Amino acid sequence: MSDDPRNLLTVWADLLLDTLASAGITDVIASPGSRSTPFLLAASRHASLRVHTIIDERSAAFFALGIARTTHRPPLLLCTSGTAPAHYFPAVIEASEAELPLVVLSADRPLDLIRGGAPQTTDQTKLYGSHARFFCDLGEPRPTQEALHELKRSAERAVSLALGPMPGPVQLNARARKPLEPCAARTDEERALAQRAAQIRELAPEPDPAALDLEPSALALISEALHRAERPVLLAGPLPTNAPREAILDFAARAGVTLLAEATSQLRFGARKGVCVADAFERWLTDVPPDVILEIGATPTCGAYLRWLDARPKVRRFVLGGTRFRDPSGTAEAVVLGDLTKILASIDAPSRDGASTIRDADQRAWTQIDAAVAERAELTEALAVRRLIAALPEGAWLGLGNSLPIRHVDRYVRGGGPLLRVLSQRGVNGIDGCIAASAGAAMATAEPSALLIGDVTFAHDVGSLAVAARVRSPLSIVVLDNGGGRIFEQLPIAQTPVDMTLFTTPSAIDMGNAARAFGIAFESVEHVAGLDAALVGALERPAATLIQVRVPPHGAAELHRSLAEPRGPR
């Protein structure tokens, strides 16, 4: 209002950003616009906040997810009003399903301007619907003690709910009236307002939400099943990089369960001493079916496993850990939510060796896979992913794109070797924003990293090379160029008389020209020696490198067909 202190918006924005920083936010990813001016300047004035400015809101949002996946802290997305916050929507959905903490601060016009048809306005109330864990319209700034206290409380609650007990995205909608530029306190009234805000900053934050309690009867049921089991397995689907790796491995060794670890589980790579492992389970599942399955992480990527469950084999299955109900097949005997470490420690399991029949079947499967990969003279996708992972040093970050790349690693790369931390977008399994997300992860960690994607995924996010160009640590962006989305050649649609280019959608982008346009180093390879040399160079270069790996268009489907398809459930 006109009689409010002139510094009200400046004090309001400073208190808001200070509260968010005190609650744990360290990174602000801003796509500048007029209405967000006071909040962006408040962030830039705060000593503990790093501000990243990214023009495209879509790239900015996936960049933020890369930070969230590696730091497990909520980054703050900041944008102007209108369509700007709508560009965050795909990343917000991914954050919701993948349980990644994220705070969106959408600047907005006052209600009278929105209702009066002012430019660049739309209804931003609960813009993300059920995908947001929390929404709060902060309203227009008011100078009262109560309003300042409520602003602080709302910001604290937003960060708290973004972190848990079910992590995910939240939205704060902040209305601002012109003038938007900062204003220092000059009158007694304005100085008094600044003092009230300083006092509000010192108030203690609200307590965090309570954690989920474990269900004793479900734990007893799992223990009973394990005591009766002959071939129990622990199947690990996608897990965050801070998953309790050692606690999981200790449980697997103690209980004598065979570990089936997908590449995204944080358990596929690195030492797994004392644990019986069998990672090629897609190949032997129907021949040596387990009788008890403990499933951890998000829904597994392996299609053969999911089809097997859909046929409802006679197997006792339990889904453990997390805060979301995950049982798409509807075959779980129990779904136990909560802290995974506590759940595993609470299970009374017998001590035994892993099932030798499963171990032997897994070794036979790898022998067949190795032979099928080796018999092809040209550079194939299977060989390319093996060479990439073999080149990565201990502790490197590996981003896996959806569609075929993630499946190639699961199918053709043995576990063990150096410990790799794996990033993936398995919330809603989209191909969007992969380059931006890897750039965010690389900038958050400043450690060697690689991204493995297909050419369609590359085309979908080519604009994010502008963000990757900012990276100052080794980032290898490896693109499997097979001339389109060749996963469709492995789906039933390939057996019908249709024009497959409707699905494969080959791209005409010249990757070399794209890399040069954004100032990124580029290599195009067609042979193993060239790929190895390109990877060595990329890992030595403190910047992003785009590596185009040219492979036969139909090679993935041919290799997959050459390996015997798993038989139906028994």
Backbone angles phi, psi at 566, to 5 degrees: -60, 140
Q: Write down the number of H helices and E strands in the chain.
A: 22, 17
In order of their start, the domains of the chain are 8-201 (3.40.50.970), 216-360 (3.40.50.1220), 376-562 (3.40.50.970)
Three-state DSSP state, 552: coil
296 in Cβ contact with 251 (< 8 Å): no
Closest CA to 131 of 90, 181, 178: 90
The shares of helix, strand and coil residues in the chain, as percent rounded to the nearest 5, are: 45, 15, 40
pLDDT at 310: 79
pLDDT at 569: 36
Backbone angles phi, psi at 421, to 5 degrees: -100, 120
Which helix (H) or strand (E) is 481 found in, with range?
A: strand 475-481
pLDDT by residue for the chain (570 residues), tens only, comes to 468 999 999 999 999 999 999 999 999 999 999 999 999 999 999 999 999 999 999 999 999 999 999 999 999 999 999 999 999 999 999 999 999 999 999 999 999 888 888 888 899 999 999 999 999 999 999 999 999 999 999 999 999 999 988 999 999 999 999 999 999 999 999 999 999 999 999 888 765 545 566 778 889 999 999 999 999 999 999 999 999 999 999 999 999 999 999 999 999 999 999 999 999 999 999 889 999 999 999 999 998 898 888 777 678 999 999 988 888 888 899 999 999 999 999 999 988 877 889 999 999 999 999 999 998 888 999 999 999 999 999 999 999 999 999 999 999 999 999 999 999 999 999 999 999 999 999 999 999 999 999 999 999 999 999 999 999 999 999 999 999 888 888 888 888 888 888 888 888 899 999 999 999 999 999 999 999 999 999 999 999 999 999 999 888 888 888 886 544 333
458 in Cβ contact with 405 (< 8 Å): no
Q: Token digits for 61? A: 């949002």
Bridge partners, residue 416, by sequence: 269
Closest CA to 399 of 91, 103, 70: 70
DSSP 200: H
Give the dihedral of Cα atoms 158, 264, 289, 564; nearest 10 deg. 140
Compute the distance between CA of residue 173 and CA of residue 123 in angstroms, rounded to an integer: 11
